[in-house]
C-alpha cells in the first residue's frame, strides 16, 4: 500500500496553523454556568508560522529577533514601572491614612477611628467600583486565569487594556484600603496584560495601536510574551528575578522551550533594574512616604545564620501546621467562593459593592479595635547590638508601635502588627533581635482574626493576591513556635524572626503547593541564602501534609472557575486505560476536503467541537485524512466568503492563500472572536462549496488507539497540545526516525543511510 499524495510546498501553508482544539471546554463552561468562552487559542508548535519565517529573508529574521528582544525589554520596563507606581500609591495612601489617624487620635479616639475607617472605605469603594463597573476580569489574583491562558484556555477579557487599568487602580484601592490581601498576585496579572498588549501593538479600542507591530499578532508569539510578562510580574512584586523565572517555569506553564528561558530571564532582570533605579530615585525623598526600604523587601540577612539539629523538630512542626492551615484555607475559600459564585454574586453589582464595603468596615473595626483592648508592654532594655528604637518615633515606620499607651516608654504589640501596613507588619514579624516583642496572646488573637479576615476577603470583587496574607498568617504562628523554642531551649542563637520566615514559607507551601519557585522567592525576599535548606524542609513537609487533604489554591480555584488545567501528574486510572476506551463514545465529525457551505453551517450549529478532521478521497477511491481544521478558521472563511466556489473542486492553494493575510485568522485578544451569529449567508451562498485544503493543519499529532492514556497525557503537557487525533494501528511503517536522522545535514543524509538499508522482506 503506497499512498500517492501530492507533496506540499510548506511555504504555501502559512495559514495551516496549530494543533489546537477548543473542543474541550464548552461543556464545562455551560454546566458551571459562567461565561467562559473557549476560544481557539494557539498554544503550540506553530510550524506553519515557522515556515513562514523560514521563507522570508535574513533581514526579516534579524529584525524579527531584534523586535522580540525590544518587546521583552519594553515589557520589563513597563511592568517594573507599574509595580513601582502601585507601590508608591499604596505606601502614600497608607502613610497619609496612618498619620491622619494618629494626629486625630490625639484629640479623640472615635474621630480617629472614623478617619481611619472612612479612608479605608473610600479606597475599597473605589476599587470595587472600578472592578465591577469597568473591568470585571480584574477581580481576584488572576493567576489561575493566566495559568489557564498559558495552557490554552482563554477566559474572556483577562488580557484587555481595561483589565490592566482596573487591576492597577483596583489593587491600589484594595491594598491601600487595608484589606487582608496582597498586591503580588495582581502584579503577575498586570505583567501578563502588559505583555499581551505589547504583543498585539496596543489596544484597538483605545487608539494606541501600531500597525507595524503586528508581526507578533499570532498566538504563539503572544503566548511567549505573556510568559515573559508573568515572570516580570513576580520579579516586580517580590524583587526576585530568579524567583520570577522559576515561577513561570514551575507554576504557570506545563510545556517548556529552552529558547524561551533566556528571554524570560532577561525580562526578569530588566524589571529588577527598573525597580531598583526607581527606588534609588526615591531615596532622595521624591516619593513621599515610599522609599525607606531597600531593594530586598524583608531583609533578614542579619538574623540567624546557623542552626542546631534539635531545632529540626520545631521546624518540622511549623511545616505540619502550615500544611494543615494551608489546606484549611484552601477548603474554606473554595466553599466561600463557590457560594459567592452561585448565590451571592448573582444578585448583581450592588451586592458585590456592598459586600466589599462591609468587609472593609469589619477589617477597620478589628484592626483598630483589637489593639485598643490590648494592654501595652514596657519597652525592653536598650540593646547595644540593635538600632531599633522603642517605641518608634512618631511618623516613622518600624517595630514597637505606641498605640493607646499611657506611658511614653511603652508599646502595643498587637498594634505593631495589626495597625500597620502589611509590608511593615511582616517586617516586624520577621524582625530579628527583637525577642519577646510579642506576647503569645496577641499573636494568637492576630492569627485567628487575620485568618478569618483573609478567608472572608478572598473572592470579593477586588484585585486580591494571596501571597502577603499567606505570609502574614504563616509568620504569626511561625513566630509563636519560635517563642516556644526560645523558651524551651534557652539558646541565644535561636531567633524568632527565622521561625516567622519558616512559618510564612510553610503556609504558602501548604496553600499554594509551590516548591522550587517559592523557595527561591523566599530566599530572594529575605536575602538569607543560609536558610535555604530549612525553607526546603518546611516546604517539603507542608506540601506533603496539604496534599493529603486537597489540591493547591490555584488548582482548586481554576477548577471552580471551569478552567481545565492538566495537573502535573496523570491520574492513576490512566495507566490502565487505552486511549481508544476514552473515545469509545465519541462520534468523530469529519469534513470532506470540498464541503458545501450549508453543510458546514449545519455541522457548526449542531455541535460545539472546536476542531474537525478533514478527509479526502484518493484516485484509488481510498479515504485519507488530510489534516485538521479549526472551528475559528471555518468561521473566518464563512464570514469573508472569499473562498466560496461554484463546483470546481480543487483550486490553486497559492491563489486561495493570497486572498488572506495571516492576521485574519489570529484571534484578537481584545475581542471574543467570531461566533456563528455574526455570519449572514444567503441561500445561494449556502449552496456553494469551499475547498478546505489550504486551511487545514496538514500534520496534527496522531497516536495509535492502543496507547495508554498516561502517555497521551504527557504528550499534551509536554508539548502544550490541545488536541490529538486517535488513529487505528498503522498497517505499515514507512520509516523509523532516530536521532541520527535529525542530526545529519540533508546532503549527508542519503549517504549516511545507505549502509543501513538492509531489507528483510
The footprint of its own copies on residues 652-711 (CB under 8 A) is 698-699, 701-711
In angstroms, rounded to a whole number, what is the distance separating the alpha carbons of residues 286 and 88? 10
In angstroms, rounded to a whole number, what is the distance separating the alpha carbons of residues 279 and 379? 32
Using rule CB under 8 A, residue 505 touches its own copies: no
CB 536 within 8 A of CB 312: no
Pattern 186-215, its own copies, x by CB under 8 A = ------------------------------
Kindly tell me which residue out of 533, 650, 654, 661 binds its own copies, with binding defined by CB under 8 A. 533
Angle, helices 143-150 vs 553-560, to 10°: value is 80
In angstroms, rounded to a whole number, what is the distance separating the alpha carbons of residues 626 and 203? 37
Kindly tell me which residue out of 32, 331, 607, 639 binds its own copies, with binding defined by CB under 8 A. 607
SS3 sequence of 324-353 = HHHHHHHHHHHHHHHHHHHCHHHHCHHHHH
Neighbouring-strand partners of residue 594: 691
Q: Nearest to residue 478, comparing CAs of 509, 456, 500? A: 500
Using rule CB under 8 A, residue 577 touches its own copies: yes
Kindly tell me which residue out of 7, 106, 211, 490 binds its own copies, with binding defined by CB under 8 A. 7
In angstroms, rounded to a whole number, what is the distance separating the alpha carbons of residues 719 and 256? 8
Site for its own copies in 718-757 (CB under 8 A): 718-719, 722-743, 745-746, 749-750, 752-757
* C-beta of 135 vs 237, nearer to its own copies: 237
Q: How far is CA 743 from the centre of its chain?
A: 37
* Residue at grid coordinates 482548586: 556
Using rule CB under 8 A, residue 273 touches its own copies: yes
Kindly tell me which residue out of 181, 252, 414, 520 binds its own copies, with binding defined by CB under 8 A. 520
Kindly tell me which residue out of 112, 177, 241, 469 binds its own copies, with binding defined by CB under 8 A. 241
- Say which DSSP state 283 is in: I
Kindly tell me which residue out of 213, 261, 370, 372 binds its own copies, with binding defined by CB under 8 A. 261
Kindly tell me which residue out of 347, 576, 642, 650 binds its own copies, with binding defined by CB under 8 A. 576
**What is the per-residue burial (b if ≥16 Cβ within 10 Å, else e) of 243-262?**
bbbbbbbbbbbbbeeeebee
CB 400 within 8 A of CB 420: no
Using rule CB under 8 A, residue 258 touches its own copies: yes
CB 282 within 8 A of CB 290: yes
Q: How far is the CB of 722 from its own copies (least distance, A)?
A: 6
- Say which DSSP state 213 is in: G
Neighbouring-strand partners of residue 615: 592, 625
Kindly tell me which residue out of 15, 17, 21, 105 binds its own copies, with binding defined by CB under 8 A. 21
Using rule CB under 8 A, residue 620 touches its own copies: no
* C-beta of 259 vs 647, nearer to its own copies: 259
Q: Which stretch binds its own copies (CB under 8 A): 106-114, 363-371, 561-569, 631-639?
A: 561-569
Site for its own copies in 292-351 (CB under 8 A): 295, 306
Using rule CB under 8 A, residue 27 touches its own copies: yes
* C-beta of 139 vs 531, nearer to its own copies: 531
Q: How far is the CB of 29 from its own copies (least distance, A)?
A: 10
Kindly tell me which residue out of 409, 623, 661, 675 binds its own copies, with binding defined by CB under 8 A. 623
In angstroms, rounded to a whole number, what is the distance separating the alpha carbons of residues 323 and 547? 8
| End-to-end Cα, the chain, rounded Å | 14
CB 310 within 8 A of CB 489: yes
Kindly tell me which residue out of 341, 392, 596, 599 binds its own copies, with binding defined by CB under 8 A. 599
Q: How far is the CB of 334 from its own copies (least distance, A)?
A: 17
Residue 673, Ramachandran bin (φ over 0: left; ψ between -120 and 50: alpha; else beta): left
Site residue total, its own copies (CB under 8 A): 151
Kindly tell me which residue out of 578, 632, 656, 670 binds its own copies, with binding defined by CB under 8 A. 578
Other C-beta atoms within 10 Å of 549: how many? 14
* C-beta of 414 vs 724, nearer to its own copies: 724
Kindly tell me which residue out of 529, 654, 661, 672 binds its own copies, with binding defined by CB under 8 A. 529
* C-beta of 282 vs 574, nearer to its own copies: 574
Q: How far is the CB of 410 from its own copies (least distance, A)?
A: 39
Kindly tell me which residue out of 210, 212, 259, 647 binds its own copies, with binding defined by CB under 8 A. 259
Kindly tell me which residue out of 133, 569, 650, 654 binds its own copies, with binding defined by CB under 8 A. 569
Q: Nearest to residue 145, comparing CAs of 80, 226, 210? A: 226
Using rule CB under 8 A, residue 283 touches its own copies: no
Kindly tell me which residue out of 78, 150, 234, 272 binds its own copies, with binding defined by CB under 8 A. 272
Angle, CA 463 vertex, CA 460 and CA 468 arms, to 5°: 95
* C-beta of 122 vs 686, nearer to its own copies: 686
Other C-beta atoms within 10 Å of 379: how many? 18
* C-beta of 619 vs 757, nearer to its own copies: 757
* C-beta of 205 vs 286, nearer to its own copies: 286
Q: How far is CA 171 from each of CA 121, 192, 625, 719, rounded to the nearest angstrom?
A: 14, 15, 51, 35
Q: Nearest to residue 42, comparing CAs of 590, 726, 700, 588? A: 700
CB 192 within 8 A of CB 228: no
Using rule CB under 8 A, residue 63 touches its own copies: no
Q: How far is the CB of 607 from its own copies (least distance, A)?
A: 4
Using rule CB under 8 A, residue 518 touches its own copies: no
Using rule CB under 8 A, residue 619 touches its own copies: no
Q: How far is the CB of 183 from its own copies (least distance, A)?
A: 22
Report CA Rg, the chain.
Answer: 29
Kindly tell me which residue out of 166, 474, 613, 694 binds its own copies, with binding defined by CB under 8 A. 613
Phi, psi of 465 (to 5 degrees): -100, 155
Kindly tell me which residue out of 110, 583, 654, 655 binds its own copies, with binding defined by CB under 8 A. 583
In angstroms, rounded to a whole number, what is the distance separating the alpha carbons of residues 162 and 16? 32
Q: How far is the CB of 350 from its own copies (least distance, A)?
A: 35
Using rule CB under 8 A, residue 355 touches its own copies: no
Q: How far is CA 28 from each of CA 22, 106, 252, 598, 608, rounded to the nearest angstrom?
A: 12, 57, 21, 28, 12
Q: Which stretch binds its own copies (CB under 8 A): 158-166, 478-486, 525-533, 674-682?
A: 525-533
| Residue 544: partners with Cβ closer than 8 Å, 6 or more residues away | 323
Q: Which stretch binds its own copies (CB under 8 A): 94-102, 321-329, 617-625, 650-658?
A: 617-625
Other C-beta atoms within 10 Å of 8: how many? 15
Q: Nearest to residue 651, comparing CAs of 598, 603, 711, 691? A: 691
Q: Which stretch binds its own copies (CB under 8 A): 77-85, 163-171, 567-575, 640-648?
A: 567-575
Kindly tell me which residue out of 387, 394, 587, 646 binds its own copies, with binding defined by CB under 8 A. 587
Q: Which stretch binds its own copies (CB under 8 A): 150-158, 195-203, 637-645, 649-657?
A: 150-158
Amino acid at each position: 500500500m503506497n499512498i500517492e499524495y501530492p507533496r506540499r510546498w510548506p511555504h504555501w501553508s502559512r495559514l495551516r496553523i496549530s494543533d489546537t482544539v477548543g473542543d474541550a471546554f464548552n461543556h464545562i463552561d455551560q454546566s458551571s454556568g459562567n461565561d467562559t468562552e473557549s476560544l481557539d487559542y494557539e498554544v503550540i508548535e506553530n510550524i506553519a508560522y515557522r515556515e513562514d519565517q523560514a521563507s522570508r529573508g535574513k533581514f526579516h529574521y534579524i529584525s524579527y529577533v531584534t523586535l522580540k528582544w525590544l518587546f521583552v525589554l519594553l515589557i520589563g520596563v513597563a511592568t517594573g514601572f507599574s509595580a513601582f507606581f502601585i507601590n508608591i500609591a499604596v505606601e502614600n495612601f497608607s502613610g497619609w491614612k496612618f498619620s491622619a489617624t494618629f494626629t486625630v487620635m490625639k484629640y479623640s479616639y472615635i474621630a480617629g477611628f472614623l478617619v481611619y475607617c472612612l479612608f479605608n472605605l473610600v479606597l475599597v469603594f473605589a476599587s470595587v467600583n472600578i472592578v465591577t463597573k469597568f473591568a470585571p476580569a480584574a477581580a481576584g489574583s488572576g493567576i489561575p486565569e493566566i495559568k489557564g491562558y498559558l495552557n490554552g484556555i482563554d477566559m474572556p477579557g483577562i488580557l484587555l487594556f481595561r483589565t490592566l487599568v482596573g487591576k492597577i487602580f483596583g489593587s491600589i484601592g484594595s491594598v491601600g484600603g487595608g484589606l487582608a490581601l496582597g498586591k503580588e498576585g495582581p502584579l503577575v496579572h498586570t505583567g501578563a496584560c502588559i505583555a499581551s498588549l505589547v504583543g498585539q501593538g496596543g489596544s484597538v479600542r483605545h487608539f494606541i495601536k501600531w500597525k507595524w507591530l503586528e508581526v507578533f499578532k499570532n498566538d504563539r508569539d503572544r503566548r511567549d510574551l505573556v510568559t515573559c510578562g508573568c515572570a516580570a510580574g513576580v520579579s516586580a512584586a517580590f524583587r526576585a528575578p530568579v524567583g520570577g523565572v522559576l515561577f513561570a517555569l514551575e507554576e504557570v506553564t506545563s510545556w517548556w522551550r529552552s529558547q524561551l528561558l533566556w528571554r524570560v530571564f532577561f525580562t526578569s532582570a530588566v524589571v529588577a533594574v527598573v525597580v531598583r533605579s526607581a527606588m534609588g530615585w526615591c531615596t532622595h525623598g521624591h516619593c513621599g512616604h515610599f522609599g525607606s526600604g531597600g531593594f530586598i523587601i524583608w531583609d533578614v540577612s542579619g538574623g540567624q545564620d546557623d542552626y542546631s539539629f534539635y531545632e529540626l523538630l520545631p521546624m518540622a512542626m511549623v511545616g505540619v501546621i502550615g500544611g494543615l492551615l494551608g489546606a484549611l484555607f484552601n477548603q474554606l475559600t473554595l466553599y466561600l467562593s463557590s457560594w459567592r459564585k452561585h448565590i451571592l454574586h448573582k444578585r448583581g453589582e450592588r451586592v458585590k459593592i456592598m459586600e466589599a464595603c462591609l468587609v472593609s468596615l469589619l477589617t477597620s473595626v478589628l484592626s483598630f479595635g483589637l489593639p485598643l483592648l490590648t494592654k501595652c508592654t514596657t519597652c525592653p532594655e536598650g540593646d547595644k547590638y540593635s538600632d531599633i528604637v522603642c517605641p518608634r518615633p512618631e511618623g516613622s515606620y518600624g517595630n514597637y508601635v505606641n498605640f493607646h499607651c499611657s506611658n511614653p516608654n511603652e508599646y502595643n504589640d498587637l498594634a505593631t502588627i495589626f495597625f500597620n501596613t502589611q509590608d511593615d507588619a511582616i517586617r516586624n514579624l520577621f524582625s530579628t533581635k527583637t525577642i519577646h516583642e510579642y506576647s503569645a496572646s496577641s499573636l494568637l488573637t492576630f492569627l485567628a482574626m487575620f485568618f478569618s479576615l483573609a478567608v472572608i476577603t478572598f473572592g470579593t470583587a477586588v484585585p486580591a493576591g494571596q501571597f502577603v496574607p499567606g505570609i502574614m498568617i504563616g509568620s504569626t504562628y511561625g513566630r509563636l513556635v519560635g517563642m516556644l523554642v526560645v523558651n524551651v531551649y534557652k539558646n541565644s542563637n535561636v531567633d524568632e524572626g527565622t521561625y516567622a520566615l519558616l512559618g510564612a514559607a510553610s503556609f504558602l507551601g501548604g496553600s499554594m503547593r509551590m516548591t522550587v519557585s517559592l523557595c527561591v522567592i523566599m530566599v530572594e525576599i529575605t536575602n538569607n541564602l543560609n536558610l535555604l535548606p530549612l525553607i526546603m524542609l518546611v516546604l517539603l513537609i507542608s506540601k506533603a501534609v496539604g496534599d493529603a487533604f486537597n489540591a493547591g489554591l490555584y488548582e482548586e480555584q481554576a477548577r471552580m472557575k471551569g478552567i481545565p488545567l492538566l495537573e502535573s501528574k496523570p491520574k492513576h486510572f490512566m495507566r490502565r486505560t487505552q486511549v481508544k476506551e476514552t473515545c469509545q463514545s465519541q462520534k468523530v465529525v469529519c469534513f470532506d476536503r470540498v464541503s458545501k457551505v450549508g453543510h458546514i453551517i449545519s455541522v457548526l450549529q449542531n455541535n460545539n467541537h472546536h476542531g474537525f478532521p478533514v478527509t479526502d478521497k484518493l484516485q484509488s477511491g481510498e479515504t485519507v485524512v488530510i489534516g485538521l481544521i479549526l472551528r475559528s478558521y471555518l468561521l473566518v472563511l464563512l464570514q469573508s466568503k472569499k473562498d466560496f466556489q461554484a463546483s470546481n473542486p480543487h483550486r490553486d492553494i497559492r491563489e486561495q492563500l493570497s486572498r488572506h493575510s495571516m492576521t485574519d485568522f489570529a484571534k484578537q485578544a481584545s475581542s471574543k472572536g467570531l461566533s456563528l451569529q455574526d455570519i449572514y449567508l444567503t441561500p445561494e451562498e449556502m449552496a456553494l462549496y469551499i475547498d478546505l485544503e489550504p486551511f487545514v493543519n496538514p500534520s496534527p499529532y496522531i497516536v495509535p488507539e492502543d496507547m495508554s492514556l498516561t502517555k497521551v497525557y504527557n504528550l499534551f503537557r509536554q508539548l502544550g497540545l490541545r488536541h490529538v487525533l486517535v488513529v487505528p494501528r498503522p498497517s505499515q511503517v514507512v520509516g523509523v526516525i532516530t536521532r541520527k536522522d535529525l542530526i545529519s545535514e540533508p546532503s549527508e543524509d542519503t549517504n549516511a543511510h545507505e549502509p543501513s538499508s538492509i531489507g528483510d522482506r
